[in-house]
Each structure stands twice: as C-alpha cells, then as structure tokens.
Amino acid sequence: MGLFDWIRSQFIDVIEWLDDSRDTIVYRYPRYQNEIKQGAKLIVRPSQAAVFVSEGEIADVLGPGTYILDTKNLPVLTNLQHWDHGFESPFKAEVYFVSTRRFGDLRWGTKNPIIINDPALGPVRIRAFGSYEIRVEDPAKLIKEVAGTDGLFTTDELKEQLSNLILSHFPEVIAKSGISLFELARHYKELGDRIKELLQPYFDEYGLKLEKLLIENLSVPKEVEKALDERSAQRVIDDLDDYLKYKGAQGLEKGGSASDLVGLGAGMAMAEQMFKKTPPPLEEDVYYIAVDGKPQGPYDKKEIEEMIAQGSLKRDQKVWKEGMPKWQEAEEVLGDLFRKVPPPIDG
C-alpha cells in the first residue's frame, strides 16, 4: 500500500460491503494493516452478517444494522485482546462480510453413469442432473470450516464439493424409494425432498442450509429407453382394449347394431397396429403328404424337418400346401430342407 492509500485509510471510518456480484459468499474488508479505530461505523446490510476475527479467533458475529464500534456500545467486542482499552489506539482485526441470501441455480450432475437396482429391470446405469439452492445459516462456522482466511470466497469453490455430497447419497434414496424407472418422472419432487432431508446434517457441518434440491432429468442407456417405450406403448394398447370392450358392452345393453360392434372391433385392431412396436407374426405354412395315394397332415415346417431327418419323407414323395395348383415332389417344394440333411455314407 502506498502513502496516499495509508493517508486515506486514516480518515475512513465506515466499514461496509456493497456486493455487486451474484456468487460471492464471503468478502474480507480491506483495511490498512487491519486497523480499526475508536468510533468507526460498521454498516451491515440486509442479507449480510459481519464476522470479527482477531489473531485467528472469531470474536463476534453481527447481523444487519448500523454499529458504532465502541466497547461501551458493544461490550462483546472486549473478547478481543486489548479491546477493553476502548480503541484509544488502533487495533488490528479482520472484518469478514458474509452474504446470507439464497444462492440458487447451483448445478449438480453425474460425471459417469451410476448403477441403481430397479425393482422392475434390475441393475440399471443412469445419469442424473438437477439444481439446488443454499443459504449461509452459521457465518462463523462457514468461515471456520470452509472459507478460512480466503478474502473472496465464491460459490465456485463450494459447488464441486456439495455436488459430490448430493451424488454420494442419490443412489441410496432411489433404492429406498422402491420406485421403478417407469414411474420416476412422476416422483422427481418427492425424491428431491428426500435427498434434501438426508443431506441437511452434512450441510450443517459447513454452516449452510440446503433450501431446495431439484431433480430435472434422469437418462438411461438406449436399450433401456427402448424397453420403457415398449412398455408405455403396451399400456396404451391395454387401456384402449379395456375401453373398447367397455363401449362394446354398453352398446349391447342399449341394443346396439352389429355394425356398431364391427366398428369397435376395427378400432381395436387399428389401435393395436398403431401402437405395437413389432408386427404380428405371419401364419406359418403347413403341408400335406401323399401316403399310399392318400393325403396325410397337415404338418408344420418343424415336423417336416423331423420327417426328412428320420427318412420317413422321401425326395420323390408328393406334397401339397394351400396355394399350390397341384401336388409336386417334395424335393421341388422343400429342397432347402433336404439339403440340410447329410447324404448317405457310401459303404
């Protein structure tokens, strides 16, 4: 500090902090050699607290108001060594201003996926993101446990530590809730409140109050997303099916016509086709076999394969299926199946 700074400090008798930032939690007031004089004025604005520190010890914490720093007016300041001399000579002490307003929109989120045991899907990897709000509840404890002698302590110096606290307890809350991933989105607020309640004792150790914790998004791997989508679609189909059956029953009670019921059935089929992820399986071909001039069957493809493997169906034996204009030799119709069977071993 230069000569003019020293001279100016001798005439400054107002100690105050005009906070023009949105992230500063603790601010140490700059004084030449930390000297405070008899009769100095201290102004503590709303949402602030002033903490006096001397020789590494916290002497007092003052809330909003205007104070004349005189031991007659503030007897508690005599806790500081030599302050009982009434400031007749300057005494070195530090004044820390602490903001007690809410600090909001602090973000938390998983750096890597965490594993939770879902009651419906089993172990699942998820990512979680959200925000939280804090407020300084105990300025002296905050300085003692966290900020220390930092002259400008901001939320950036706390965010990672607090975010890790949240993430360390997040899986525990999800597991104890017993809520499936299929239902989690409906319970974000409830889960956020549970995490907040669980974490408050840890925030107390820092002199902080966790005002709010929000879960904004939970994301899962693509294969789990697909399973969730399919389950949701199936629920829609089931709901439509129940609704259409109910409407059909109402129609019968009121003497509805056959065309009404046909329309309902068509609507049910259309809904099923709209929401199903995969089309229904095609009807499998069946075959008839000529044995001693008489048709036998029908046999499905699997049965035909077994008959070829056992040798009970020959290549030149006649077969027929629906859509064929006439009977044909089995090898012409089922050539692929015959080629799966190894040829006879020459003796």
Instruction: For residue range 43-85, list pLDDT tens digits in order.
Output: 999 999 999 887 778 888 999 999 887 655 554 454 454 444 4
Q: Which pairing describes strands 40-44 and 14-15: parallel, antiparallel, or unpaired?
A: parallel
Right CATH number for 286-339 from 1.10.10, 1.25.10, 3.30.1490, 3.30.70? 3.30.1490
CB atoms under 10 Å from CB of 161, counted, come to 10
Angle of CA points 273, 274, 279, to nearest 5°: 40
Cis peptide bond N-terminal to 325, omega within 30: no
User: Which pTM does this prediction carry?
Assistant: 0.58
Q: Are 129 and 108 in contact (CB under 8 A)?
A: yes
Instruction: For residue range 229-279, list pLDDT tens digits in order.
Output: 676 666 556 555 565 665 665 555 555 554 554 554 555 555 555 544 444
Name the residue ranges covered by the structural domains of the chain. Answer: 3-99, 103-220, 223-275, 286-339
- For 103-220, CATH gives 3.30.479.30
